[in-house]
Amino acid sequence: MIYYKTHEEIELIRESSLLVSKTLAEVAKIIRPGITTEALDKRAEEFIRDHGAVPAFKGYKGFRHTLCISTDHQVVHGIPSDRVIRDGEVVSVDCGVKMNGFFGDSAFTFPVGNVSADKLNLLKVTRESLERGVAKAVAGMRMGDISAAVQEHAEQHGYSCVRELVGHGIGRDLHEKPEVPNYGKRGSGMKLQEGLVIAIEPMINMGKSAVVQEDDGWTVSTRDGKASAHFEHTVAVQKGKVDVLTTFRFIEEVVSVTR
């Protein structure tokens, strides 16, 4: 069953989503070669709790951390640890919070240090794919319009979309119906209605789309070992407009200062 949100509920989800966005900006302030993924996770949890919220991922199906941190060939669900981030890696940071009974969810892939041009292009195209998918999240469109927009842009640039993992509805639960695939056919799937809140999250691989689950039971990596990127926004479907509840603006403000 799909749970459509009221205006008041959407505003509460917006508050959670903005806190997620600010948390990712806190990560942006300290991410660098030589820092551990565990240190990033600790800072994120402190920031979330200092703002009266709780980490959405911590305790979810036994996950023990605040962030999912995935490097280079890891696609998603990487577990924070004492692993040191290396110069030239791309690092996906996925974050969720729960505040006032509602969830927000977002992800951003950071280039760390001296990153190669081909990886930077992967990040650029993946973010553009997200933007193109988000643009279709308007009442009257169909789910397949979002999915096709993501897929077409990624594949036009020679990349592939992960198919085993999808976006999702979000609200009182972190993962709600419907699923939001990153591949599909225009004009297909459910019709988007006002009040639907979804997390759109392209996971785009430099090589082939196939992925494998690592032995830790969480981390998903590319089968061919090539790099992957992941960007995510929480979005409310409205009539005639797109209402993006998360933002990368706070990250961009940090990056512009630190450049």
**How do residues 11-32 score in pLDDT, each as one tens digit?**
999 999 999 999 999 999 999 9
pLDDT digits (tens, 9 = 90+) for 64-93: 999 999 999 999 999 999 999 999 999 999
**Helix axes of 7-30 and 249-258: crossing angle, nearest 10 degrees:** 20
Percent of the chain at pLDDT > 90 equals: 98
- How confident is residue 53, by pLDDT bands cut at 50, 70 and 90? very high
Q: Give the E-state strand segments of 74-143 in sequence order.
A: 74-76, 90-99, 102-111
User: What distance in Å separates the CA atoms of residue 255 and residue 252, rounded to the nearest whole number?
Assistant: 5
- Exposure of 1 by Cβ count < 10 A (0-12 exposed, 13-18 middle, 19+ buried)? exposed
Q: Which two tokens stand for residue 32?
A: 């660098």
pLDDT range class, residue 258, cuts 50, 70, 90: low
pTM of the complete model beyond 0.85: yes
- The reply to whether 2 falls in a domain is no
State the pLDDT at residue 138: 98
Question: Judging by beta carbons within 10 Å of its beta carbon (0-12, 13-18, 19+), is residue 87 exposed, middle or buried?
Answer: exposed
Domain span including residue 85: 7-258
CATH number at residue 189: 3.90.230.10
pLDDT in tens, 165-186: 999 999 999 999 999 999 999 9
Question: Is 135 contained in some domain?
Answer: yes
Residue % of the chain over a pLDDT of 70: 99
Say how many domains are in the chain. 1
- Give kind and range of the element (H or E) at residue 129: helix 117-135
Helix 143-156, helix 117-135: angle, nearest 10? 160
Q: Within a domain: residue 220?
A: yes
Residue 56's nearest CA partner among 168, 165, 174 is 174
Q: CB 26: neighbour CB atoms within 10 A?
A: 19
User: Is 1 domain-assigned?
Assistant: no
Q: Which of 232, 8, 13 is nearest to 126 (CA)?
A: 232
160 φ, ψ (degrees, to nearest 5): -130, 150
Evaluate if residue 257 carries a pLDDT over 90: no
Mean per-residue pLDDT for 143-171? 98
pLDDT at 57 over 80: yes
Q: Tell which residue, 19, 15, 28, 94, has the closest CA to residue 253.
A: 28
Contact residues for 148 (Cβ-Cβ < 8 A; gap 6+): 183, 184, 185, 186
